[in-house]
Structure 1
């Protein structure tokens, strides 16, 4: 019996129901044991026999009228006497009987039809046979059906050992199918499949152990996956890759292959998207319109399945806001055209359409208001009033409308004040100032009004104070002390805070310096005369008073004092250098050279100092040469004292090299000894 004997929809419960279908033989068929089937013609034959007990032929009167009896019986007798017919019958009948007998002997008994078996009466072998057929399909339901067929047999049944072996095998097959689900990544299906094994079977003890193992493996793998996601959130790509590699060691094909590949693709994708967002953010930080548009395009290109999709969607409105900020900065700089151009480039993906529309409306209104006329302000108010109360910028529009309404009043006052001030007289300027001061400082044109008032006030002060400054300049033309002091007195009448005060103060300082120079110049000249005579200390004392006074000539006096003090130090150094050089030792000569070298090059003594330095350097070289006869090391030390730039320096360096070669002679290479050539004596036999 094969699997085709069991329908797919067969179940043991259905198989227990007996087959009540009535099978009615067909008319004319013969049932077993030679009994004619119901509805055959045997009844009519029997009735005819009973009506004709003598066995005489029944004569049909209708046919007898047309066919004579002698003519009907003649062909029958001729057929019965044919030897050919009897030969054929004798050959066919025994052969047919033999063939049928052999076929019946060789025919195998039919296998039981499992779906139609009444199971309460089925034998153990039949149950086992049908269970094996069901289990051979290797599906969970069929394996459970196989177990259900045989587990009801008594424990003392002769086939119990074999049945238990099969049940154990089928239970393990179910666990194997569950493990396949687990390996395929369906943990819940695997657990559900394993738990279908009957709890009263010995194999059920493996279920809890198997489920615990699956859950442990799954939990470990899921923990690694969560850790990878955390690393990706922190943008630690290398660490995420190292964690993902741990999935390869998970004892689950789904996690070690499918999920591992998925995680690797995720890392690559997330890294690429992260780099894109970093680039977009860097572009946005430049605060350049084109870069912001490029940043928005990059963020828009990140797909919905990306790890950074939500982040990208959050950045797009922020980039749009930055564009609005740039547009607002242009508006603050009163560049409405540039501001409107930026605002119109903001993409719809930023979801700032309402803000952009309000910005454009207000920008147009502000551009009209900047013209500064009453009509332009009225136009700006009309444009701002078009913004609906439901719009985000409605409150700002109302504030601007209030401001412009006040500004209309201020513009009228300023125009009147400017008309008055244009006359240029003190009275007209004063009237213009009074008119402009009526504009409150917190009004839109308050700052402009203050500026105009300050300008007109300066004009009034200039008109009032200019005569004082002009008279002072006339007095100072003589440039003597009395005239200059009179000019200073006249210009000092211009008070601090007045428009011409800075100019007056500048003139006063210039005239004061001239007075001080006239007063102090004789004292400075006297000090210079003392310096010419060589009495530098007296010259310094004479000029010190001027230098410390802070007057006009104090800087010049201090410069002269510094020069004279330098001359004194140069003389002292030159004197000490000559005194020290007299000793004639190397240390004394070196100290003399150092002191002489301190004399500034601008000093007249520098020429004598240079000559002396060359002489003392030559003396050092001579001392070193004399020392070389007894102590080369000491001679080298002395020669090294000669300073660079002197006439003896190059000679000293050459001498030092020679002496060093004498102290450290180079080894003379020894010639290699010649090896004696071996020769074979004559007559020697080798």
Structure 2
């Protein structure tokens, strides 16, 4: 009994020992795995840290106190720039390094690139005409660089060229002031010897235009003086107008202003004389050419003001069309404003007041018509009718009555177009089918537009076109049949068939052209053998027979002209042969008389 209990007590102990041993067996692999993972993490972090790119220097804040590497890096970067300031900055970063500097060799390349680019930029500034900016840029190239001599030579060359160009421009300017146009142009040619585009292109073109401008201005002034010397009011007005057209930029304008004032005073005196004689219209017509800004007596200023108002009103009248414009309204408003400035004490007040009342009526009518036009611009039948009612309010005795009637007629036509356009649209829709029945329906529809309506002519045009389309549909089978007969070489039957298409039909002209073509083919077929026979006879030497054969081709036939040319050629050839034979016969007769011998009988045969 003791033995079983002992066995039962030892069994759990024997089972527990393998479990502890198994647990201890897993500890070492887990430990080594942890060490391996940790080592990998540390190694990866170290590799990343070693491969990390250091931050680039901030070239915007670079200074002489920065490291040599940063200065070289920024010098290289700025040397690639197109900004002149950046190029100057690149040079300044490394230009102070001596040959003993450890990074001197590394600095040479960016220094060279920046200097080349800077000199190129300076050249561009010079070509653009900015000499001082070009010199300033070129002077930034350091002394101890290979491009320094080239930069100094360029600066010297530029200054020499500028001095030479300034001398030429002074000579040209003096020649212009003396009005020596040929001398000015001759001196200007020396600019072409320079190398800068600024002088060759810009300044040369400027002086060419200046010479032309001055020459034209002085020619205009001379022509104006010639007109003014005649002394008549008409010539004085022309002279003032011509002088006013002189370009204000020219030197001639200063002299022209003096002449304009002098001529204006003469014209003003003439206007006063016309006024004193009671010729109000003549006075106003004369004074309209006088500028309103002259320093004259009050009465003269009033007359000029009145003439200015008259000119504005006349311009408004000249602009008048069947539709009023804002330009007309503005011109009339300016004329009224000018006339209102004439004081009651002026001798021209009464005349100005009469014109003022008329212009005010015109302005009122134009304003009313302009309002009516704005309503009509909506493009509806109702708005057109409202506009017509407004235009009818312009009384028959008012200045703009005719213009109002013209607008009314125009708007009535617009109403007719709006009313009749659906009729034509429906007709066009019917005609799209292209059949005879559809075209006839379209014609009946378009015929509903009454005579005298705005769309009557377009309707009749469409009707005529559709009638032609019907004729084409009706006659096309006939023409096709005729063409088929012609293709089968039955030309006479084709001609007879095509002749059934009557005149005034749409295809009649086409049919006649084909008939002419087929008739020509028949005549060539008939007369070709005759002409060929005549040619064969001529080739054999029977010229008279050839002529008689070719003459069988009558006038108007297709080969008639060719036959006549051949006949003329053969006759000339035959006449030449006959002349040779006659000459030979005369020589034989002369020889027979000399030798008293009987000449052999000749056997002439006609060719």
TM-score, normalising length: structure 1: 0.37
Structure possessing the higher radius of gyration over alpha carbons: 1
